Amino acid sequence: MPKELWDNLLFTRTILGNKYIPHKPTEKQEQFIRLGCREALFGGSAGGGKSDALLMLALQYAEVPGYSAIILRRTFADLSLPKALLDRAHEWLGGSDAKWDGTRHCWAFPSGAKMAFGYLETEVDKYRYQSSDYQTICFDELTQFTESQYRYVLSRLRRLENSPVPLRVRSATNPGGLGHEWVKQRFITEQTSDRAFIPAKLADNPFLDRQSYRQQLMLLDPVTRQQLLDGDWDVKQTYMFKRAWFKIVDSFPADAKKARFWDKAATEPKRGKEPDWTAGVLMAEKNGAYYIIDVKRFRGTPQYNEAQIRQTAELDGVDVAVVMEQEPGSSGVNDVDHYAREVLQGFNFSGERSTGSKVTRAAPLASASEAGNVKLVRGAWITAFLDEAENFPSGLHDDQVDAASGAIQRLTKPKTQSPAWLFG
């Protein structure tokens, strides 16, 4: 019999005609199930139907005597979540002739086949399976596992001689997580004839309310959203700051020198768009310690922004230096000149040309923060500032960090002194 015809007959009998599988697989699920290689990954965006694909694979040979499959999650709590694989298996098999063993977390079938659920919360947990044999091993959310756990469980892939059941390890996951790099390396960078990757996206699952699910994913930070919505394995989360580095205090030295730096990168909000903010960070410095006293952040027309910056300068007082990032070119020069003559006349105002990337400019702030030398004076602005800093430079906004970077640069800048001979 030609291989293609045999494969179609096998798929029809074991999947489409399987009494334990309540619905037909999607096109991507079918592609994944039909793979003949030993290892395969079904990965990409959230909502692609990965969990159902694993359950179908584990049940594919449930009517073959002696068949054994296991589905693994990192913790048993993960398995037990509502609508997770354990819950879904009960929906599919409840009322069938399969019997559930709650002690062993295993479904037993009249054929003598078994489908178990397990977990690998610690490295030691992998030895719980050292005397077990499985023909189908499924890892749900593979990037939550370590490579050593995965490799060890692979050694449990065994069958009796002349068994008609193929030996398979099938995994599903989204990008991200502690195992992101090794999973990407194994299944995407190093694909072999016996190892395959099937990408799946939200659009590949017709059974899901895709619009509402997409709306939920849009609430995530940009990097996680790109991983889960687009299935992007290349986007990286690069952190420069940690929340714990910033100590919250109630006051700062009264004789500290102060400056407020403005990152004027805002446009008026428009429907369907998320523009940057105008952000002004008031910072004080004494003896190498930096105190972020206040952060102002707003978006509006140029006239509105100018009025807010002027009012903030009046509230800060004339002894506080006001600094603004000067954009490159003549437009930046003209903008600073406009503020000096018409908006902030009478204040200690100046423009500072920015050099280097945002990451380069933020390095002194990150270094001082890690050393515990950047303190936040208690205020309602702190949460928004920490949220932005924690995701910098991959977050949706970076205005407050840019302004804080400019402020620390101004406060550490040595004063220019006139030469003594000028005064005789």
Give the integer Cα–Cα distance in Å for 242 and 239: 8
Question: What is the predicted pLDDT for the residue at 224?
Answer: 64
Say if residue 423's pLDDT is above 50: no
Question: What is the predicted pLDDT for the residue at 416?
Answer: 46
Burial of residue 37 (CB within 10 Å: 0-12, 13-18, 19+) is middle
Question: What is the predicted pLDDT for the residue at 393?
Answer: 81
Question: What is the predicted pLDDT for the residue at 424?
Answer: 35
**Among 266, 271, 261, which residue's Cα sits nearest to residue 299?**
266
Q: Cβ distance 200 to 208 under 8 Å?
A: no
Question: What is the predicted pLDDT for the residue at 36?
Answer: 93
Helix (H, G, I), strand (E, B) or coil at 374: strand
Question: What is the predicted pLDDT for the residue at 235?
Answer: 66
SS3 content of the chain, % helix, strand, coil (to 5): 40, 20, 40
Task: Return the exposure string of 170-199: e unless at least 16 CB atoms fall within 10 Å of the residue's CB, then b.
Answer: bbbbbbbbebbebbbebbeeeeeeebbbbe
Give the integer Cα–Cα distance in Å for 36 and 352: 62
Say if residue 24's pLDDT is above 50: yes
**Considering only 236-245, 325-334, 383-392, which range has the smallest mean pLDDT?**
236-245
Say if residue 37's pLDDT is above 60: yes
Average pLDDT, integer, range 381-392: 91
**Among 350, 351, 337, 343, which residue's Cα sits nearest to residue 309?**
343
**Among 198, 172, 197, 205, which residue's Cα sits nearest to residue 25?**
205
Give the integer Cα–Cα distance in Å for 69 and 55: 10
Say if residue 62's pLDDT is above 90: yes
Say if residue 133's pLDDT is above 90: yes
Give the integer Cα–Cα distance in Å for 396 and 265: 13
Cβ neighbours, 10 Å, residue 90: 12
**Domains located in the chain, CATH noted:** 3-230 (3.40.50.300), 243-412 (3.30.420.240)
Asked whether the CA dihedral 383, 281, 335, 394 is positive or negative, the reply is negative
Over pLDDT 70: what percentage of the chain?
85
Compute the mean pLDDT over every residue in the chain, rounded to the nearest whole number. 87
Question: What is the predicted pLDDT for the residue at 276?
Answer: 82
Q: pLDDT tens digits for 142-156?
A: 999 999 999 999 999
Residue pointed to by tokens 């509402």: 212
Give the integer Cα–Cα distance in Å for 420 and 21: 90
Q: Which residues contact 275 (CB under 8 A, 6 or more apart)?
A: 266, 267, 268, 269, 299
**Taking the model in full, what pTM does it have?**
0.56
Over pLDDT 90: what percentage of the chain?
60
Say if residue 422's pLDDT is above 60: no
**Among 80, 40, 370, 34, which residue's Cα sits nearest to residue 25?**
34
Q: Which of 141 and 44 is assigned the larger pLDDT?
A: 141
Q: What are the tokens at 297?
A: 């952040």
Q: pLDDT tens digits for 234-275?
A: 766 556 788 999 999 999 999 999 999 999 875 555 544 567
Q: What are the tokens at 377?
A: 């004076």
Q: pLDDT tens digits for 180-221?
A: 889 999 998 887 889 999 987 666 555 555 566 566 656 555
Average pLDDT, integer, range 387-407: 89
Q: Which residues contact 190 (CB under 8 A, 6 or more apart)?
A: none
Q: Which residues contact 217 (CB under 8 A, 6 or more apart)?
A: 46, 225, 228, 229
